[in-house]
Chains A and B, each alone.
Chain A
Amino acid sequence: MPTLPQFLSQAFNGIALGSLLALIASGLSIILGTLGVLNFAHGAMFMLGAYAGFVVLSHFDSFALALALGALMLLLVGFATERGLIRFYYRRPPEDQILVTFGLGIMMVEAVRYIFGPLSQRVPLPSWGQGIVDFGFFLYPLYRVEVIGFVAVLLLGFYILLYRTRIGLVVRAGIEDPLMVELLGTHVRRMFLVVFCMGSMAAGIAGVVYAPLAAVIPNMGESFLVQCFVVVVIGGLGSFPGAVVGGIIVGEILSVTTLFDPAYAQAAIYAVMTLVLIVRPRGLFGTMGRL
């Protein structure tokens, strides 16, 4: 039976883990909700962000610059992807959209492997992120604590964008009923482009943030993609608050399960995903709208 300090430390870890998942998943969720496209290249975009961060940090010492350039690069990638490929697929059945993004994901991963090689790239912790925080009964890396704060700020920004600006209003209406939005005179295609870019940027920023924490290899996005699906299902397809809450929940499951039987941590999230789909498919915050 785990002790209280053990439990609390894992609970905290779950929030740290979950906040990162929330950031990646929120991008996937708004793309899914607005465009109806399940973007299988999302994991690859996360990976591109990490590599962008690596390239910037190997020449300059500024983490802020890495974030900015990473976001910019993914903005461009998202723009090119949506204009060059995705927009031809809006009238195609969902499986076609899934598959073309899947193929795109493969291309991105292999291109990166070709350019950078298969070895893991080293991305150092920023100087303000090194060190350990002493919480009394457990120690925790400073950078991860900062990541929680940073992701919270980003998600807040996202929230403001979605709920307090005109374009955000249009996006949220588009999630509910894109046809109506189009009939009301809004250039829906432009909105789709904006959403796709926003979602890609979210994934890219998450990649830069995550790069110092893991091995930066071409395949790094794959396992995150599937975990994102779980988050999005639990939180609700197309729901931004759902992605946040879903991310935290998945993070907690992954962390707390290890106290009891570590081997079952991954299986546990799939079991919960199945349960949600059977009992309440729209998830916690989703609407049974067009999906």
Chain B
Amino acid sequence: MQGSSGWRLQRWLPELAMLAALLVLPFAFDRWFGSVDLFTRILIWGIFGLGFDLLFGRTGLLSFGQGAFYGTGGFVTAYLLTSNTLDNVWLAMAIGIAAAAVFSVVVGFLALRRVGIYFAMITLAFGELSYFLENSPLANWTGGENGLPGVPAPSIAVGSFKYNFAGSWSGYQLVAGFFFVGFMFARFIVNSPVGAVLTAIRQNPLRTAALGHDVGAYKLAVFVLAAIFAGCGGVLLGIFQSYMPPDAFALDTSGQLVIQTVIGGAGTLIGPTVGAAIWLTLRDLLQQVSAIGDLWKFILGLVFVLLVTFMPNGVVGTIVRLWSRFRPRATHAAIVAAHPDGAVAREALLAPLPTASARGAAPSAFALEARDIRKAYGGIRAVDGVSLALLDGCFHAIIGPNGAGKSTFLRLLKREEAADSGRILLHGVDITAADVTAAYQYGLAKSYQINQLFPQLTVRQNLRIGALGRHRGRLRLDIFRAADSFPKVEKVIAALLDELGLTTCADLTVNTLPYGEKRRLELGLALASRPSVLLLDEPLAGLSPAEREGVKQLIRNLRKGRTVVLVEHDMDAVFELAEQITVLHEGRKLAEGTPKQIANDPLVKEAYLGGAAMP
């Protein structure tokens, strides 16, 4: 989809459909269920779920403690209003939501240090701690196990027109209004560069960081966003039923959120709402069937198990999947026609970006300098005092037998790991203490030995993650623009696709591609930031001879103006491409020089090349 931002109908179709649903469905609920209340409750869970879907569905962070923020928002607002501290309901609502956000900063700061099941456990623990706080020490404010009844509803007063949101239909209007705004907001996030980064984090957090995005900061941002939605849900719950229940904090509530999201489909934004609709209507309906009686919960559990087993993507997810199978794809001609062509234009687009030299740092003749780098793992000294100085624009290869420390050295250069001692300078700037994201921002990029791609994104989307990193910086919360709305970035992506020969498969998902294409994309990701220093870790690994020629040519094309460090086992390629070669052996530099010097070096021949003279 070219340029799908702006006022195109396709972009706004979901919002329009949602608006229509919110206008029409309440009447259906009123007719079939006797009142609109059930729908209002579904929407409250829906708001809660929008935030959770951003956190879990999009970013992959499974939290079992969202109830903590749901409850915080609701109770702060309920307390302010029932204790007559505040009269203005809207203000109390805002404070409640803000309180949930503040609380989430604290929890997120502690919890996000961990991933996976550890993260889930920390959030569970925080949820339980919040429940305990509500029940016991803070019972004087929260009402303990009684909760806070009597929460008033907000009203609008403009001139002589006064409207109070209490009651069944007005309550629906209030909640539906918030839901719609929340939905629009969530859609903005999903379509924005932030949304793209979050999706990337879920699929490959390490690569996302290596491509210049501050993963920790983005995670905290989405955690706080999820808490804001949760707090909003809690606030509306208390107002709608005029009662703030203590079980908002319970593990049951957080668990029900997860259940509903999985049933509905994670990653679809409305999955949690649909899941809530299924769960709540089933629960009501089953209880009303007298033949079932006390077994209603058993049947609910059974239905749930069946849904999880046979619809792994949830209801909405399954529908989305079926839909995307039948969606028309842009033709090759259309794609080619839409993009600028010409090698000159491409070259300009892909040339390295000017490096930002630090204030006061002396300009250096060396693009990359490593001084006496050491790294040991336990008793093994992987890198034992290696120094390297690369002139600007040179092509330098590092070779050596397995275990010589080449890959480790490259990882240290790229700041993926910290060296035990030594210094690394990039264009004169000391980056020894910088993290991998900062290194990328300074213009240092790496292509990996084992493909580190984003398997469920398209080729184009993969490249976009790389290009956006340098363009936007470590962290930017530009929620209100579309991910593909940077014209310069899109041009660079188009040029890259052309250069890599990936234009025809630009909109295919990576996990459907053959190995050769994936390898080229791997290279492309490193190039997307237009780095000035490029580290290539065995770029030819696993490729057939024909494919190798292609990649070698690619490297030749793209090395103009760049400093390249190449680690390879393919000696033909090394001697063809490199201007300088360093040989590592057991963590130390064995020899260094031009290819001809290295080929004739007796030490090198003995250790690595096998004794025969090289061409």
**A contacting B, Cβ–Cβ less than 8 Å:** yes
Interface string of B279-309 (1 = CB under 8 A from A): 0000000000000001101101110110011
A237 contacts B117, CB within 8 Å? yes
In the complex, B121 has a CB within 8 A of chain A = yes
In the complex, A285 has a CB within 8 A of chain B = no
State whether A106 and B308 are in contact (beta carbons under 8 Å apart), knowing that A95-B62, A270-B132 are contacts in the complex.
no
B113 contacts A110, CB within 8 Å? no
In the complex, B255 has a CB within 8 A of chain A = yes
Alpha-carbon gap, A152 to B56, bound state (A): 41
A107 contacts B125, CB within 8 Å? no
State whether A102 and B117 are in contact (beta carbons under 8 Å apart), knowing that A94-B62, A270-B129 are contacts in the complex.
no
Alpha-carbon gap, A38 to B118, bound state (A): 12
Q: Which residues of chain A from 101 to 132 have any CB-CB distance to chain B below 8 Å in the complex?
A: 102-107, 110-111, 113-114
Q: Which residues of chain B from 95 to 127 have any CB-CB distance to chain A below 8 Å in the complex?
A: 110, 113-114, 116-118, 121-122, 124-126
Least Cβ distance of A222 to chain B in Å?
Answer: 9
Q: Which of A96, A111, A233, A278 contacts B312 (CB 8 A)?
A: A96
Alpha-carbon gap, A113 to B312, bound state (A): 30
B121 contacts A233, CB within 8 Å? yes
Least Cβ distance of B189 to chain A in Å?
Answer: 21
Interface string of B21-62 (1 = CB under 8 A from A): 000000000000000000000000000000000001000001
In the complex, B465 has a CB within 8 A of chain A = no
What interface size band does chain A fall in?
35 or more
In the complex, B262 has a CB within 8 A of chain A = yes
Q: Which chain B residues border A114 with CB–CB below 8 Å?
A: 294-295, 298
Q: Which of A100, A105, A264, A274 contacts B122 (CB 8 A)?
A: A274
In the complex, B453 has a CB within 8 A of chain A = no
A106 contacts B262, CB within 8 Å? no
Q: Which residues of chain B from 301 to 331 have any CB-CB distance to chain A below 8 Å in the complex?
A: 301-302, 304-305, 308-309, 312
Q: Which residue of chain A lies nearest to B294 when distances are taken between CB atoms in the complex?
A: A114
Q: Which chain A residues border B305 with CB–CB below 8 Å?
A: 85, 100, 103-104, 107
Least Cβ distance of B106 to chain A in Å?
Answer: 12
Alpha-carbon gap, A73 to B126, bound state (A): 36
In the complex, A281 has a CB within 8 A of chain B = yes
Least Cβ distance of B512 to chain A in Å?
Answer: 19
Least Cβ distance of B86 to chain A in Å?
Answer: 30
Q: Which chain A residues border B126 with CB–CB below 8 Å?
A: 274
Q: Which chain B residues border A107 with CB–CB below 8 Å?
A: 298, 301-302, 305
Alpha-carbon gap, A230 to B122, bound state (A): 10
- Chain B, interface SS category: helix
Alpha-carbon gap, A100 to B126, bound state (A): 24
Q: Residue among B62, B114, B309 with the most chain A CB within 10 A? A: B309
State whether A103 and B301 are in contact (beta carbons under 8 Å apart), knowing that A92-B312, A226-B251, A278-B110 are contacts in the complex.
yes
Interface string of B404-435 (1 = CB under 8 A from A): 00000000000000000000000000000000
B117 contacts A229, CB within 8 Å? no
Q: Residue among A85, A94, A273 with the most chain B CB within 10 A? A: A273
A96 contacts B308, CB within 8 Å? yes
A273 contacts B308, CB within 8 Å? no
Alpha-carbon gap, A291 to B118, bound state (A): 8
Q: Which chain B residues border A160 with CB–CB below 8 Å?
A: none
A291 contacts B113, CB within 8 Å? no
Q: Residue among B118, B262, B295, B309 with the most chain A CB within 10 A? A: B118
Alpha-carbon gap, A113 to B129, bound state (A): 30
In the complex, B128 has a CB within 8 A of chain A = yes
Alpha-carbon gap, A286 to B425, bound state (A): 38
Least Cβ distance of B128 to chain A in Å?
Answer: 5
Q: Which residue of chain B lies nearest to A277 when distances are taken between CB atoms in the complex?
A: B122
Q: Which chain A residues border B110 with CB–CB below 8 Å?
A: 274, 278
Q: Which residues of chain A from 252 to 291 have any CB-CB distance to chain B below 8 Å in the complex?
A: 263-264, 266-267, 270-271, 273-274, 277-278, 281, 291
B301 contacts A106, CB within 8 Å? yes
Q: Which of A92, A99, A111, A267 contacts B298 (CB 8 A)?
A: A111
Q: Which chain B residues border A226 with CB–CB below 8 Å?
A: 124, 128, 251
In the complex, A88 has a CB within 8 A of chain B = yes
Least Cβ distance of B417 to chain A in Å?
Answer: 16
A229 contacts B262, CB within 8 Å? no
In the complex, B258 has a CB within 8 A of chain A = yes
Alpha-carbon gap, A106 to B301, bound state (A): 6
Q: Which residues of chain B from 234 to 278 have any CB-CB distance to chain A below 8 Å in the complex?
A: 251, 255, 258-259, 262, 266
Q: Which chain B residues border A104 with CB–CB below 8 Å?
A: 301, 305
Alpha-carbon gap, A273 to B110, bound state (A): 13
Alpha-carbon gap, A106 to B255, bound state (A): 13
Alpha-carbon gap, A82 to B128, bound state (A): 30
Least Cβ distance of A257 to chain B in Å?
Answer: 13
In the complex, B136 has a CB within 8 A of chain A = yes
A277 contacts B121, CB within 8 Å? yes
Alpha-carbon gap, A95 to B263, bound state (A): 11
Alpha-carbon gap, A106 to B295, bound state (A): 11
B301 contacts A110, CB within 8 Å? yes
A277 contacts B118, CB within 8 Å? yes
Alpha-carbon gap, A182 to B129, bound state (A): 41
A266 contacts B132, CB within 8 Å? yes
Q: Which of B118, B302, B304, B308 contacts A281 (CB 8 A)?
A: B118
Q: Which residue of chain B lies nearest to A105 when distances are taken between CB atoms in the complex?
A: B301
A99 contacts B251, CB within 8 Å? no
Q: Which chain B residues border A106 with CB–CB below 8 Å?
A: 297-298, 300-301, 304
Q: Which residues of chain B from 462 to 483 have any CB-CB distance to chain A below 8 Å in the complex?
A: none
Q: Which chain B residues border A99 with CB–CB below 8 Å?
A: 258-259, 262, 304, 308
Least Cβ distance of B381 to chain A in Å?
Answer: 23
Q: Which chain B residues border A102 with CB–CB below 8 Å?
A: 255, 259
Q: Which chain A residues border B266 with CB–CB below 8 Å?
A: 95
Alpha-carbon gap, A87 to B113, bound state (A): 32
B117 contacts A38, CB within 8 Å? yes
Alpha-carbon gap, A265 to B56, bound state (A): 32
A103 contacts B308, CB within 8 Å? yes
Q: Which chain A residues border B129 with CB–CB below 8 Å?
A: 267, 270-271, 274
Alpha-carbon gap, A274 to B126, bound state (A): 7
Q: Which chain B residues border A113 with CB–CB below 8 Å?
A: 294
Alpha-carbon gap, A95 to B123, bound state (A): 14
Alpha-carbon gap, A277 to B56, bound state (A): 20
Alpha-carbon gap, A237 to B119, bound state (A): 13
Alpha-carbon gap, A281 to B132, bound state (A): 23
Q: Which of B117, B251, B294 contacts A94 (CB 8 A)?
A: B117
Least Cβ distance of A106 to chain B in Å?
Answer: 4
Alpha-carbon gap, A64 to B188, bound state (A): 64
Q: Which residue of chain A lies nearest to B132 when distances are taken between CB atoms in the complex?
A: A267
Least Cβ distance of A51 to chain B in Å?
Answer: 16
Q: Which chain B residues border A111 with CB–CB below 8 Å?
A: 298
Alpha-carbon gap, A278 to B106, bound state (A): 13
Q: Which residues of chain A from 195 to 234 have any CB-CB distance to chain B below 8 Å in the complex?
A: 226, 229-230, 233
A110 contacts B297, CB within 8 Å? yes
State whether A270 and B128 are in contact (beta carbons under 8 Å apart), knowing that A107-B305, A110-B295 are contacts in the complex.
yes
A229 contacts B308, CB within 8 Å? no
Q: Which residue of chain A lies nearest to B298 when distances are taken between CB atoms in the complex?
A: A110
Interface string of A135-146 (1 = CB under 8 A from B): 000000000000
Q: Which chain B residues border A92 with CB–CB below 8 Å?
A: 312
Alpha-carbon gap, A95 to B63, bound state (A): 10
Least Cβ distance of A261 to chain B in Å?
Answer: 10
Q: Which of A229, A230, A233, A263 contacts B136 (CB 8 A)?
A: A263
Least Cβ distance of B7 to chain A in Å?
Answer: 37
New contact pairs (5) apart from A85-B309, A229-B121, A270-B129, CB-CB < 8 Å: A100-B305, A106-B297, A110-B295, A110-B301, A274-B125
Closest 7 CB pairs of A and B: A106-B301, A110-B298, A103-B305, A107-B301, A103-B304, A267-B132, A281-B118
Give me 15 A-to-B residue pairs in the complex whose CB atoms sit less than 8 angstroms apart, sorted by A's number: A85-B309, A95-B62, A95-B262, A103-B304, A110-B295, A113-B294, A114-B298, A230-B125, A266-B128, A270-B125, A274-B122, A277-B122, A281-B114, A281-B118, A291-B116
- By a beta-carbon cutoff of 8 Å, the part of chain A in contact with chain B is 38, 85, 88, 92, 94-96, 98-100, 102-107, 110-111, 113-114, 226, 229-230, 233, 237, 263-264, 266-267, 270-271, 273-274, 277-278, 281, 291
